[in-house]
Chains A and B, each alone.
Chain A
Amino acid sequence: MTGPLVRLQSSQRRVSLAPVFEQRRRWTASAACVRLVQVLAGTAVLLLPSRHIVIVVVLLVVGVVAAVVSPARNGQAAALLGGVLGWLFSDGLAGSPSLPRVLMFAVALFVLHDSTSLAAAVPMTCQLRPEAMLGWLRRSLLALLGAGLLAAITLGVGAIVQGSTSAPLQLVGSAGVLALLGVTAWLYTRSLRS
């Protein structure tokens, strides 16, 4: 005969250490750093337009907060939409903002987009190794350099024509834009095929 409580605990009922794991999890400095860059870029995107529309500002702030808190979801889309709308309406639809502001806004918008992509890949508890961070930065700088080169060409052509309208030039510009869109679409479909 055995006592009433003898077999209450079998070996399968040993206490799991999972709660201890959870308690000891903590945010890492590298992941927090990525979020900080997001916030700074979002702030720049918010402040660079010359005029602010309340609805657009709210959309942008909500988007940035969502992108920081949950970067793997669609907060990034809201942040980018808010930023672009804010820029579009700040000087009116036919406005012509100054070149430094355009460049700074372009860089800020790109950094917001890029840092949110990185944040989506780096959870708060993730230790981002330095070589991964440096590799990411290197590729971002390369993209910025390429974009800067293309921007210089665009602005150079703009300076040559000096505001005069030209039907062939407009056609070439439109064809160039369509070509870029086509290349992107082709790369996108190619990437999904693999």
Chain B
Amino acid sequence: VSESPRVGWLPTPALSSALAVIACLPLLAVALSRPDLLIIALPILVSTVIGLFTRAYRLPKVALEVAAGTLLEGESTTVRWQLSGTEQLDLLQLRPNTEGWIELADGGAQFCTTVSPGRITEFDFPLLSTRWGRGQLDRVALTAYTAQGLLRADASVPVLASVRILPLREGFTATDAVPRAAGVVGLHRSRRVGDGVDLAGVRPFVAGDRLRRINWPVSTRTGQLHVTATQSDRDTEVVLVLDSTVELGESTGADGTSSTIDLAVRSAAAIAEHYLRNGDRVGVLDLSRPGRPIRSRSGRGQLDVLMELLLELRASPITGQAVERALARIRPNALVIVLSPLLTEEVATALAGLARAGRSIVIVDTLPGSIELPRHSDWTEVAWQLQMLHRDNLIGGLSGHGVPIVAWLGAGSLDAVLRNLSRTAAAPRALR
């Protein structure tokens, strides 16, 4: 809510014209003995006198209320204006100023309304979110008219209405196979035998086995008690590593083109939501802020925490050492999903080191299919081709280290690589 101060009023050109008519016509009427000139001047004169006599001095209070403070990309909400004043204002023109990724749904038109004393004027206008991030209405420019448009006043009134715009998550699902299911309970099949659903085998009964686990057909056939062994269901830890050290591509909203960071944010949100819904622990490491990782936790609250981080994601360069230090802090059993356009050698080198250390890594390629390059010179195209060659080299090097790289295709994007990783993790290893 904002209360406008007493403002200075300025005469409009209409007042000058009215005064000229009022001053000249009656004098001419007397001088030329033409009462018709006086009659012609009368409406303008009466209107001017009434207007100036009943004019307003103060601007009204302005209040805003946003119907929904959190939106998805492309969704719209309603903002309700409430104007209340103590004086009659003939016309009040409002021009809201939006910042961030919101816009007025009708193209930013202005609004003209009136304010009556003792009455609250209310009206709604739609607000549209264009892209993930934050948006706010921070100021509203007012132009008030009083005295039937003869006086005007301009003011800029601070208001605050913030909207949080969450990334649009495609319906993402993934296989329940994860390389290293750990923890206590969960939905993923672990390699350990325990209480679960998936069959691990049939073995002889030993003291401590539950009676309901006895496999009666096998026991009858062999004449010795056997029990059905199952693999225990455990949760897993998923760490999403966001490579925000670079940003390429134009970010024009949910229906437009996407930048590398757009793709990273949307895919990270979808992956995090999927694993958190399955009861897993999910953490996020933003490489542009390596000192502030989001620790892995489970639950709906964690999704809100992750979204807050994603909304603040900005491109920022980082040194190779900082990347390595940040990645080294990830727990050995965690499934590391890296969302990266694979354009920087620092990140690629650090990821290769992580893979050599036996970590389970999946890289989701976030380079958009088509990028419109900002043209700086005739060499831009050549430089871009060199950059792509460089990227191909990085991808080749990472593949050589056994790091799977997949393009983000929504649901099921990671199924194949997760199964392969599970098999790899379950395979016996040679000890040196």
Partner of A88, one of B37, B52, B109: B37
- Confirm or deny: A126 has a beta carbon within 8 angstroms of a beta carbon on chain B: yes
Partner of A132, one of B24, B37, B91, B109: B91
B13 engages A120 (CB within 8 Å): yes
Partner of A121, one of B35, B121, B145: B145
B13 engages A191 (CB within 8 Å): no
On chain A, the residues within 8 Å of B24 by CB distance are 84
Residue of A nearest to B315 (CB): A11
Q: A120-B13, A127-B111, A181-B23 are in contact. Are A143 and B46 (CB under 8 A)?
A: yes
B373 engages A11 (CB within 8 Å): no
- Confirm or deny: B206 has a beta carbon within 8 angstroms of a beta carbon on chain A: no
Encode contact with B along A102-113: 1 for CB under 8 Å, 0 otherwise. 110111011001
Within 8 A of B (CB), among A110-135: 110, 113-114, 116-118, 120-123, 125-129, 131-132, 135
- Confirm or deny: B9 has a beta carbon within 8 angstroms of a beta carbon on chain A: yes
* Min CB gap A115→B, angstroms: 10
- Assembled-state Cα–Cα distance A72/B250 (Å): 40
Encode contact with A along B98-118: 1 for CB under 8 Å, 0 otherwise. 000001001111111110100
**Among A30, A121, A122, which residue has the most Cβ atoms of chain B within 10 A?**
A121
On chain A, the residues within 8 Å of B145 by CB distance are 121
**Among B20, B113, B250, which residue has the most Cβ atoms of chain A within 10 A?**
B113
Q: A132-B91, A151-B42, A187-B52 are in contact. Are A72 and B13 (CB under 8 A)?
A: yes
- Confirm or deny: A6 has a beta carbon within 8 angstroms of a beta carbon on chain B: yes
On chain A, the residues within 8 Å of B93 by CB distance are 121-123, 126
Q: Which residues of A contact B (CB under 8 A)?
A: 1-11, 13-15, 17, 20-21, 23-26, 28, 30, 72-74, 76-77, 80-81, 84, 87-88, 93-97, 102-103, 105-107, 109-110, 113-114, 116-118, 120-123, 125-129, 131-132, 135-136, 139-140, 142-144, 146-147, 150-151, 154-155, 158, 170, 173-174, 177, 180-181, 183-184, 187-188, 190-192, 194
Q: Which residues of B contact A (CB under 8 A)?
A: 6, 8-9, 11-30, 32-53, 55, 57, 90-93, 103, 106-114, 116, 121, 123, 130, 143, 145, 147-152, 246-253, 259, 261, 314-315, 317, 343-346, 373-374, 376, 380, 383-384, 386-387, 390-391
A-B contacts, 30 of them at CB < 8 A, read A3-B390, A5-B248, A5-B384, A14-B259, A17-B130, A17-B253, A24-B107, A74-B13, A76-B17, A80-B17, A81-B20, A84-B25, A103-B39, A106-B41, A109-B43, A113-B47, A121-B145, A131-B114, A132-B91, A143-B47, A154-B35, A173-B30, A184-B19, A184-B45, A184-B48, A184-B49, A188-B11, A188-B15, A188-B19, A194-B8
